[in-house]
Structure formats: C-alpha cells, structure tokens
Structure 1
Amino acid sequence: MLAEIHVYPIKSTKGVPLAHAKVETQGIQDDRRYLIADLQGRMVTGRKFPHLVNVTAQVSHQGLSVTSPGKEALHLNKQDFVRSPVEAKVWSDRFTAYSTTDAANAWFSEIIGKPVQLLYCGEQSERFRESLATNVSFADGYPLLLISRASLKELNRRCSEKIDMQQFRTNLVVECNEPFEEDSWKKIRIGDVVFEVSKPCERCVFTTVSPTEGVFAPSKEPIKTLKTFRADDRGRVFFGQNVVALNEGMITMGDEVEVLEYHPPAHYPDKDK
C-alpha cells in the first residue's frame, strides 16, 4: 500500500506531504522544480547548508510561497519570472534552466550567506538523462525515490538513535510485510502509474541532518548503522530504491502497490551477524 507521498518543490528544502499527486515521467509534479545555485549555476544543497531543511515551499497555480524561521515570507508569481536561460549544474549534468526573480535571489542569498540564485527548470525539464531515457528535474539523478516503512523500522531496530523517514527525502513511502522487500522489485504499479525500480539509492551525509533542527548529527547516524548491514564492498551505503515512471497518471495514498516483476536483490554483508 502507498502510505505517504512527498514532494520537495525546492531541492534540499523541507518535504511537503500530499494526499494524491500527478506523476510525470520527469518526476512527481512540482517535485524539485526549483534549485538554489551559485552564480556559476552549480547546485547549492543541504550537504553543505543543512539549515535549508528549515525552508518550506508551498506551490500554487500562480507560483510558490517560501518561509523560513525568522524571515519574512517570499511570494513568487511565475508571471514575474525573468526566465533568462542559465546553465545549471547538478552533479555532472549540465543543462538549461531559467532565472526567477531578483527578490528570490536576494532572499536565498540571505539564507545561504553568500550570493546565490533561484533557478526554475521550466514546465518540462531540459535535463535529459540518456541512461534513463527520460527528462529529470533537479533531483540528484532519478525522478523518484521509494522506501518501505518496514525497512525504516529495521534500521531503527539496529540504530541507537531514532531515525525519521524525512531524513531520506523519499517521494513514495510504502507499507509491506518484510524489511527491504522493495530490493527485489523490478516493476510495480501504483494507481495509474507503472514504475521501473531502477537501482538502490546510495546515501550520503545529507541523511544525517536533523529534519527539525537543520544540523548534522554528531553521531553520523544513520550512515554509521547503515554501514554495518547495507554497505557494498566499496563501503557505499544504500537505503531505498530509485524509480522511474513509465507513464504519467495519478497516485493516491492508500493505493495498492502491485508488484509486476521481480529481480534478485543486491546482497550486503551483515556485520552484526
């Protein structure tokens, strides 16, 4: 069952829960359609500025409203966007995005503490990823991320600290019987949409940021615990599955998750055994 849906209108900012959502092949509608970038177009994220998780963006038909503790709210109307083309850089991908407004740039420059700009990917992102055969928004690499509650429960059983699902910044949270069932899924259907489960999601330091405080955990959890049972032979840790929508349509909380195809799951040595 689909238990939760989340979007992150601006990359690295707080997630917004939804009861239902339109899924496009480039990701859930409104998910990571905006990017904070330096003046060279390079992404600015919570990996270096963890307090970005305290920023909340609410999307409307006109644009979006952005709030942060201690700051006056920012209201942006898409009709006011300058829309000058800007070369955006997300990891090794370089593609055309569009400028928003000077007011947005100034607001986020105060948040970050250095000059930055707020970019918009457009109604249809121009970032085409050949390996996925689809366009992707400002997400790290894949249009969507899926995690089961059972997997989080198993992580918390092993971890000395309570880990919140928000730390993993997932789009789709599902209910299933066993931890890491999703590792063996190859193709699933939720609502109107068929998804390909592409590969496990490699996790980074951003997962150690408190979703309520906006600071890194001194304990380095959950990465520390994940290394004991979800690491490959190169020491990379994985939690959750990157997925790609094969068609567009609506999904709703409570929808059945129908597994259409399976594949052998990745194996990770369990150092606690």
Structure 2
Amino acid sequence: MLRLSALYRYPLKSGKAEALQQICLDKLGLDGDRRWMLVDEANGRFLTQRTVGKMSQLSALWNADGGLTLSAPGRPAIDIALPGSGAELRGVTIFKDSLRVPDAGDEAGAWVSEFIGKPTRLVQIPLDRARTTQAGYGRNDDQVAFADGFPLLLIGQASLEDLSKNVGRPLEMLRFRPNLVIEGSEAFAEDNWKRIRIGDVEFRVVKPCSRCILTTIDPQTGERSSDREPLATLQKYRSQADGAMFGQNLVNDSNGQLEVGMPVTILE
C-alpha cells in the first residue's frame, strides 16, 4: 500500500526544513511553506543556498499567527511578526518574476544582514500577491509562493534508495527538499503519475523537477560535496532536455489536511 511517509515544510525559502506530522493546505500548497524569502537589499534579487551555502544552517519556524522565528548556530533567536497591511512593499526578483511584497522591517533586516554578511532584507508573500506557476505547465490560474516554480514537490522513498545505490552511499532525503515523501512504490514510479489523492486532497502531477547544485550541499553541515554528488550521478541516468530530474512537482486542487501515514491513491 502506498502511504505518505513524511511531510516537510520550509517556511523560509532555502532555510532548514521543518518535519511535520500533519498540516493543512491552502491554494499555495502547505500552509506556511516558503512564504518568506531573503533578498539582496541593493537589487531585491532572491538569495538561496545555491550561492549562500550557510543558509542551510538557518532555522525558520512558522508561528501560529503567521510570523517567523529565526535562529542560527551562535546567534540569538528573533521573533518576527507577520507584516501588517501598512507594511512597506519591496520590489523583489525571483527567477523571471518581479513583484512587490511586504518587507519584515529593519530589526529583521539587521538580523539577516549580520547572518548573511551583507545588506539583506526579509520579505513575506501574502496570498493576494502570489506568483503564477511556471508557464507551459498546469493551469493558467495555478499559483505559487516563493517556491521555485510550483507549490509542492513529491519524491518516492524507493527513488532515493535507488539513487543512493547508484551513488554508492546513503543520501539524505532533505538534500532534495521535498514536501511529500511516498513509501510503498517502486523507484521512480512517480514519473508516471498524473493525478493522486492523499486523504481527501487531490493533486495534479504537473512537471518533473530539474535538480541543481543545491543537491550537493549536506543539509546538516552546509558543506558542498567535492565529487558533485548526487548531482553527477543524476546527470548520468536521469537526464532529460531540461536537466537531471528527481521528484515531481505537484499542484493541490483542494485544501484539506494531510497527516503522515495517510494512504495514497493513484487516480491517473
């Protein structure tokens, strides 16, 4: 039987994962997932572990009121309130998208600037300022917060085990930053799914996920692997025209709640 074996949320884009037992969904995916982001103060360009590896050590916990608690080794934690309706809007750029979103304020800005080592701002995206998903996939009204292109990422546990075997050492699932981990399927079975249901929530599988250098960063230490693994192996046996694929991007067609252990049904 297929089941949901793990749930992960990333309140801050490229920050540490938050393992969950249950969570509700809204139209942007898991409640609170990647609703916050760090940007370069000078140009509004988004920051991730791709260029700032130490972000893997930045913990961001979602508060019940929608705010954020940031902490990092050797740094005091800071509680950041959800920006109100009168918050300053800052122009930001994430890939090809440019938008204006609420800034979290100067105290938060000073904290993240000290951590990053250059002038940095923390921004938040409300539902009414969401981006549209990557063009050419899904529906025209599909939306996403600060995730790269789609609200959700699913990976099969057997797919990770297959990749680990090919690399020659055990790999951490969090290198690949999934939201949903499915147990009980064959390796890469998710490549052929089009629609699934978990509990009462239905999802569309819209696009395989093209992997980047971020997968070579150890999620525990923040160090990059000298052998470029597991990306090097993925490029050998999982390459397509758009890159090395691992995992599937999803869009949820309803809200509802997910809980670890729920059965997974393949609808199409």
Residue 197 of structure 2 aligns with which residue? 189
1:28 lines up with 2:30 in the alignment: yes
Indicate conservation of the 8 Å contact 2:134/2:149, yes or no. Answer: no
| 1:197-249 CA distance string (max 9 Å, x none) | 001000000011000111211110100111121012x4710000000011111
Determine the C-alpha separation between the residues in 2 that align with 1:154 and 1:126: 36
TM (normalized to structure 1)?
0.91
Indicate conservation of the 8 Å contact 2:90/2:103, yes or no. Answer: yes
Structure 1 letter corresponding to 2:52: F
Indicate conservation of the 8 Å contact 1:85/1:98, yes or no. Answer: yes
Which of 104, 110, 113 aligns to 2:114? It is: 110
Structure 2 letter corresponding to 1:246: D
Equivalences for residues 215-226 of structure 1 within 5 A: 215-226=223-234
Equivalences for residues 1-273 of structure 1 within 5 A: 1-39=3-41, 40-62=43-65, 63-78=67-82, 83-129=87-133, 131=135, 132=139, 133-232=141-240, 234=241, 236-261=243-268
Structure 2 letter corresponding to 1:258: T
Indicate conservation of the 8 Å contact 1:136/1:143, yes or no. Answer: yes
Residue 265 of structure 1 aligns with which residue? none
Indicate how the Cα distance of structure 1 residues 31 and 235 shifts in structure 2: closer, same or farther if over 3 A, else same.
closer
Indicate conservation of the 8 Å contact 2:87/2:103, yes or no. Answer: yes
- List structure 1 segments (4+ residues) > 3 angstroms apart after TM superposition: 79-82, 129-132
| 1:152-190 CA distance string (max 9 Å, x none) | 000011113321000000000011231001011000001
| 1:137-158 CA distance string (max 9 Å, x none) | 0000000000010000000111
Determine the C-alpha separation between the residues in 1 that align with 2:113 and 2:211: 27
Structure 2 letter corresponding to 1:240: G
**Shift, 1:93, TM fit:** 1.1
Indicate conservation of the 8 Å contact 2:22/2:260, yes or no. Answer: yes
Determine the C-alpha separation between the residues in 1 that align with 2:242 and 2:265: 32
Unmatched segments (≥5 aa) in structure 2: none
Structure 2 letter corresponding to 1:89: T
Determine helix, strand or coil for the equivalent of 1:78.
coil
* C-alpha RMSD over aligned residues: 1.6
**Shift, 1:82, TM fit:** 6.1
Structure 2 letter corresponding to 1:54: Q
Determine helix, strand or coil for the equivalent of 1:151.
helix
Give the number of aligned pairs.
Answer: 260
Determine the C-alpha separation between the residues in 1 that align with 2:96 and 2:11: 22
Unmatched segments (≥5 aa) in structure 1: 262-273
TM (normalized to structure 2)?
0.93
Indicate how the Cα distance of structure 1 residues 81 and 16 shifts in structure 2: closer, same or farther if over 3 A, else same.
farther
